[in-house]
Chain A
Amino acid sequence: MPFKFFFYLIALFVLYSAYFVVTARNLFRSAMGLLAVLIGIAGMYLLLNAQFLSAVQVVVYIGGIVVLMVFAILLIADVTQKVFEQSPRWRQGLIGAASLLWFSLLAGSMLSYRFGAAAAAVDKSGSIREIGRALLSPAAGGYALPFEVISLLLIAALVGAVTVARADAYNDERKEGKA
């Protein structure tokens, strides 16, 4: 029973914060809403007995991505001006109705499908030990190749981000050199 109570508590918290993310006119408040959503999802992972994922969610998402976004918002979007253009009302209503329709289709199909019971109950599923073995095992059930590819992707993204963000300074130097 307490699990269900916590589930509904976290679900309400996350959905309210998500609504805040997509409707707040101030971008900084939107980012704080995103922070609340990510904390709530980390709580959901705890309810699902995935402690390691919960920790990764907090460290990488909240400590990395949200902080990066707050930096970008403070750098780029003039937070003090507080006027961000919204889409026209008719478009918001249309897209809201379409999203609701899509949700009803998704929920209806998922609730009408009978999922079977779990194949076999395993103690401590999703534990750090299991995840570590799966990530680094080159055997058939392992994820060693995706793991290495992800590290390449992260390197490429890092170099690409620095290059793109600095491109303007490079162009200015070149212009000055020509002039």
Chain B
Amino acid sequence: MNGPTLEHYLVFSALLFCIGLYGMLTRRNLIAMLMSVELVLNAAALNFVAFHHFLFPGDSGGAVFPIFIIAVAAAEAAVALAIFIALFRHQQHLDVQQSDSLKG
């Protein structure tokens, strides 16, 4: 079958990772930064599945780990959004540049 190879998926997920990294470092809103983190997590999970499919089809680790990644991402999103809600009640904005009340 003349489908996409492992390298296709690796380069694609590297590109997705770098877009997420760019968003994480340039966005100033906390929710937007969290969404960029989700891009990075998805790129990592896709790598697991691609390696599982192309190199280690008999080893179930590559198929199980994305499920753990998704579960951890769900826990992370729930806690982070709760923190954002508390922070927003406290200071009425979510701008990381202005959130400097701990700065000496």
Contact = CB atoms under 8 A, between A and B. Distances in A.
Interface of A: 1, 3-4, 7, 11, 14-15, 18-19, 21-23, 27, 30-31, 34, 37-38, 41, 44-45, 47-50, 52-53, 56-57, 60-61, 64-65, 68-69, 71-73, 75-77, 84-87, 91-92, 95-96, 99-100, 102-103, 106-107, 110-111, 115-116, 118-122, 125-126, 130-131, 133-135, 141, 143, 146, 150, 153-154, 156-158, 160-165, 167-168
A44 B15 CA distance: 15
Contacts of B22: 22, 95-96, 99
Contacts, number: 247
A120 B58 contact: yes
Contacts of B62: 126
B81 A48 contact: no
Interface size class of chain B, counting residues whose CB lies under 8 Å from the partner chain? 35 or more
Q: Which of A22, A131, A134, A156 has the most CB of B within 10 A?
A: A22
Interface of B: 1-4, 6-12, 14-23, 25-29, 31-32, 34-36, 38-39, 42, 45-46, 49-50, 52-64, 66-68, 70-79, 81-86, 88-90, 94-95, 97
A87 B38 CA distance: 20
A164 B82 contact: yes
Contact of B39 (A18, A102, A125): A18
A118 B84 contact: no
A119 B55 contact: yes
